[in-house]
Structure 1
Amino acid sequence: MSKSVAAKALSRSYAGERTLTFLIGLLALAGGALALVVGFGLLGRFRGRRPLLDPMALAWLGGHATPARIAAIVLGLLLFVLGLRWTVRSLRPEPRPDLDLDRTEGAELVVTAAAISGAVQADAEQLDGVSRARVRAVGSRTSPALRITLWLHEGTDLKAVWAALDTQVLARARESLGLDVLPTAVRLELDTSPAKRVR
């Protein structure tokens, strides 16, 4: 499994949020740097002593008060709606995609995300050295992916578990679902044995 394939399974689709946050941060950084440059008088002492709001701009706003207020209200509402949408999108639960195996009308065949997760989990728990497993189907209907967490017994051969997971469990899942590629992120943890009481 390549890093890019595993990354697709690992990361929730935060590309939009990350890009927007980066751009806002970059804009704020540029604004702060410009304010420092002007404030220290590097663009001339006169500019450094001028008020924050340019008198010419204030005069123009005074002459066009009504359109300026309307523009400010519209801009504020737009920013509010965009912020609300961004918040709702960030807080909504991650989708668990069902997979359409057959879209023929009257003979549709859909495998639910829970069924995919349950089947892969049951297969993974049968592997030697695995004490328990947790599987989540993520992604979209057209591009599903898996997140697998395996808890291993102490002294388990990691290479053997990795090979069996790829050649048995994931190969069976790909074949059953009719997929050439099934991006998968695997997390391995050592299962904790119950604490022994000292008497």
Structure 2
Amino acid sequence: MSASAARRAQGRSYSAERTLTSLVGVLGVLAGAGALVVGMGWLGQFRGHRPVLDPIALGWLRDHALYARIGAIVLGVLLLVFGLWWFFRSLRPERRPDLKLDETIGAELTVTASALAGAVQTDAESVEGVTRARVRSVGTVAEPALRITLWLAEGTEVRRVWEDLDAYVLTRARESLGVETLPAAVRLELDTTGPARVR
């Protein structure tokens, strides 16, 4: 079981979004710094007084108007496709793969993600001190993982809940799936369902 499965259990990865945002930010900073350097005349007074739209570049575009239009259209289409792909990728729900325990033809055995999450949730709610639980099956078919949130009653001993969860709930899940390791991220919260005071 790789470390990527453990990371998926902790939460959905937004590394790609962060990388793109960082690259856009770095390019923006570099462009701003370059404009500042040129505008201050650090690269020569003549270059600093030239217009933003260089006459030489404008002249080349006029002389090659057809190629410039084709290039602009292709670039625009590529940016549109990339933007739509990125938009739908960001909105894509997190995968909850079903687990195929047996792929023998005629004797297939598949455990759905909801069934696995429901079974683990039932076991977790049976632990003393746990008032309610929420379990999500995440990861991939080859590397399943669990994301567990437990709400504890006030005064519950956290250490005992953790030991029972590991010794009973997670061990039973591993044995049922026939895997040696099953990464699980566990979040503990105090169940404050009592009436709120009004000041």
TM over 0.5: yes
Give the match for residue 172 of structure 1.
Answer: 172
| CA displacement, residues 5-38 of structure 1 (integer Å, 9 cap, x when unaligned) | 6533123143322222222222222112211221
Tell me by how many angstroms 1:196 deviates.
7.7
Give the match for residue 111 of structure 2.
Answer: 111
Give the match for residue 19 of structure 2.
Answer: 19
Structure 2 Cα separation of the partners of residues 161 and 52 of structure 1: 66
- For residues 10-159 of structure 1, what are the structure 2 equivalents within 5 Å? 10-159=10-159
Distance 1:107 1:189, change over 3 A: same
Percent identity (aligned): 64
TM-score computed with the length of structure 1 as normaliser: 0.91
Structure 2 Cα separation of the partners of residues 156 and 4 of structure 1: 32
Tell me by how many angstroms 1:4 deviates.
7.4
- CA RMSD for the aligned pairs? 2.0
Distance 1:4 1:139, change over 3 A: closer
In the alignment, residue 51 of structure 1 is paired with which amino acid? P
In the alignment, residue 164 of structure 1 is paired with which amino acid? D
In the alignment, residue 68 of structure 1 is paired with which amino acid? A
Unpaired segments ≥5 residues, structure 2: none
Count of residues paired in the alignment: 196
Structure 1 Cα separation of the partners of residues 67 and 174 of structure 2: 60
Structure 2 Cα separation of the partners of residues 119 and 18 of structure 1: 35
Q: Tell me which moved more, 99-108 or 17-26.
A: 17-26
Where in structure 1 do 4 or more consecutive aligned residues deviate above 6 Å?
A: none
Question: Structure 1 residue 189 and structure 2 residue 189: aligned?
Answer: yes
TM-score computed with the length of structure 2 as normaliser: 0.91
Distance 1:142 1:193, change over 3 A: same
Structure 2 Cα separation of the partners of residues 6 and 150 of structure 1: 18
Structure 1 Cα separation of the partners of residues 167 and 40 of structure 2: 64
